[in-house]
Structure 1
Amino acid sequence: MIASGQPWLISAVLVGTALVLLLAEAIFPRRHRSLPVVRRWPAHLGFVLVNMPVERGVQALVFIALFGAVTGYAPQPDFGLLPLTGLPGWAQGVLAILLLDLAVWAQHWATHRVPLLWRLHRVHHADRDLDMSTALRFHPIEIGLSMLFKMGVALALGAPLWALVVFELLLAVLPMFNHANLALPLWLDSVLRSVIVTPDMHRVHHSTRRIEHDSNYGFCLSIWDRLFGTYRARPSGGHDAMTIGLADYPGQETTRFGWSMRLPFR
């Protein structure tokens, strides 16, 4: 997100997590797929290829505008709100991660409430199946706006660099995990969702039913949905009977990259 300086680390963790989840999905699938992966994944790969330069480009523009250079974010900045607290560096870092997670929750909530943002975000929800690749399916305009928002929050906080690297790792790994078509034992799901968002918890958010997809906005900690009253434990008809995607677009057009790129303008 902000001058992590560790793009190779983020990429390695991302690829490693994807491979592990692909294997786990193949061995322990949660739901039968409505479409074969060879129909869906090319579009998702297209979004990856388009969004990577958007992320880095927005990051570079922000740093040129603020610092006159692409680098320059100090490991322990002396600007922002957190340094004013006088807390030790480790405590500022932990607090930064918590606040950034809350900010991402609020951003996600806003994408369902603000019509213009929803037009962009529904590209993500148009996927008719849910697996780890769905976490990569975002319109580049939404990615650009999201980057600006998260970088603005991080700069306003004056978050330590190590906390930003940790948050980037969480932001890379956990969305793939909680979008995975993965059947966890019920006891393990119950234990995990007391702290983090699990696949069964997040899957409710991708229901075609409005009351269900307007719930469970978290990507990392599950506390925010519980705290703000948007937590829903399970879909009303159960996970197997739940329909995933957008009710307005039940066809296979959602698998096409060009169609998905044009969806916000329809």
Structure 2
Amino acid sequence: MNPHSDNFIRNLELIRSVVAFTGLMLLLTWESFAPFFAYTAGRQRGTHVFRNLVVGVINALLVGFVFASLWFAVSQWAERNQFGVLNYLKVPIVFHFPGALLLLDCWMYWWHRINHRIPFFWRFHRMHHSDVHMDVTTASRFHLGEIFFSSCLRIPLIALLGIRFWELIVYETIMFLVVQLHHANVGLPRRVDNLLRLLIVTPAMHKVHHSRWRIETDSNYSSLFSFWDRLFRSFRLRKDSHTIHFGLDEFDLAEDQTLSGLMKTPLAERAPKNLERK
């Protein structure tokens, strides 16, 4: 099938949706029968899942109706005009997708790190970190403003790197499945986690990133491939993941966890806490 055809793109987008939904259902089931951290009341978990998924649907609608067509248009322009790093380097077709995969994931690492380092962007990103019961649905819990800025920046990024639209869809499909896994309230056997961590981000690795201790929060920025954190010296582990406490102290009020409270997170004037380990 022609990778530039509308049917090919539609089929990829359908596969992405099916993979994301299947991953969600499987991990929700896994969490229910073998949670890493014990759940509280069932109704509270249901509310938590519903709230995070609503946020995820809102973000998906923004991307689908506003940005997807822009990404497609700029990727087509870059390919027609042989614009961007991968096109300038005349990368052979067999290496084009692996190159796109690495470049996109490297950008995701640095974008994530920017969200922690620049106060303006942290105002939005802290909504993701304020989740005190991290599970698979936390993978969808990002502020609409963060998604907007990320999506806007992706437009010139696609052109500068010479990314093809189908490569972006495949990358997002793989990346989001891994992101769902490492946010899930599950634990892998230590040997399995250690082995997988050589290549991808694992639950034990990402749990550290959601710690309340700011030194741990500001580590493990990788989304798909774990080696970026080793390469850029932001890798960190804790021996016993059960001792990690999720969330942000400054957003522990019940009102902060409502849908309206989540949307107001960037406007809240809250001083960061837990800069040092207690």
The normalised TM-score by structure 2 is 0.85
Residues 148-227 of structure 1: pairs in structure 2 closer than 5 A = 148-227=152-231
Residue pair 2:79, 2:162 contacting (<8 A) in 1 also: no
Deviation at 1:143, TM superposition (A): 0.6
Matched residue, 1:232? 236
Matched residue, 1:140? 144
1:27 is aligned, of 24, 33, 40, to 33
1:92 is aligned, of 92, 96, 100, to 96
Q: Which amino acid aligns with 1:38?
A: G
Matched residue, 1:247? 249
Matched residue, 2:263? 261
Residue pair 2:84, 2:161 contacting (<8 A) in 1 also: yes
Q: Residues 37-64 of structure 1, C-alpha deviation per residue, up to 9 Å, x if partnerless?
A: 1231222122123112211233157369
Structure 1 window deviating more from structure 2 (41-50 vs 132-141): it is 41-50
Residue pair 1:135, 1:176 contacting (<8 A) in 2 also: yes
Assess, with a 3 A threshold, how the Cα gap between structure 1 residues 34 and 189 changes in structure 2: closer, same or farther. same
Residues 15-54 of structure 1: pairs in structure 2 closer than 5 A = 15-33=21-39, 36-54=44-62
Equivalenced residues, count: 258
What secondary structure does 1:240 align onto? helix
Distance (Å, rounded) in 1 between the aligned partners of 2:205 and 2:68: 35
Residues 88-127 of structure 1: pairs in structure 2 closer than 5 A = 88-127=92-131
Structure 1 window deviating more from structure 2 (52-61 vs 200-209): it is 52-61
Deviation at 1:150, TM superposition (A): 2.7
Distance (Å, rounded) in 2 between the aligned partners of 1:252 and 1:33: 17
Assess, with a 3 A threshold, how the Cα gap between structure 1 residues 99 and 56 changes in structure 2: closer, same or farther. same
Structure 1 window deviating more from structure 2 (142-151 vs 11-20): it is 142-151
1:55 is aligned, of 36, 42, 63, to 63
Matched residue, 1:8? 14
Assess, with a 3 A threshold, how the Cα gap between structure 1 residues 38 and 55 changes in structure 2: closer, same or farther. same
Residue pair 1:104, 1:150 contacting (<8 A) in 2 also: no
Distance (Å, rounded) in 2 between the aligned partners of 1:10 and 1:61: 16
Distance (Å, rounded) in 1 between the aligned partners of 2:128 and 2:15: 26
What secondary structure does 1:190 align onto? helix
Distance (Å, rounded) in 1 between the aligned partners of 2:214 and 2:264: 23
Q: Residues 81-100 of structure 1, C-alpha deviation per residue, up to 9 Å, x if partnerless?
A: 11111221121211111010
Distance (Å, rounded) in 1 between the aligned partners of 2:144 and 2:187: 30
- Structure 1: runs of 5 or more not aligned: none
Residue pair 1:126, 1:245 contacting (<8 A) in 2 also: yes
Structure with greater contact order relative to length (CA < 8 Å, sep ≥ 6) = 1
Distance (Å, rounded) in 1 between the aligned partners of 2:209 and 2:141: 15
Q: Residues 86-129 of structure 1, C-alpha deviation per residue, up to 9 Å, x if partnerless?
A: 22112121111101000000000000000000000001011001
Q: Residues 233-254 of structure 1, C-alpha deviation per residue, up to 9 Å, x if partnerless?
A: 226xx32222100011223334
The normalised TM-score by structure 1 is 0.89
Residue pair 2:76, 2:165 contacting (<8 A) in 1 also: no
Distance (Å, rounded) in 1 between the aligned partners of 2:25 and 2:80: 34
Distance (Å, rounded) in 1 between the aligned partners of 2:91 and 2:25: 39
Matched residue, 2:3? none
Distance (Å, rounded) in 2 between the aligned partners of 1:121 and 1:172: 17
- Structure 2: runs of 5 or more not aligned: 1-5, 269-278
Q: Which amino acid aligns with 1:51?
A: N
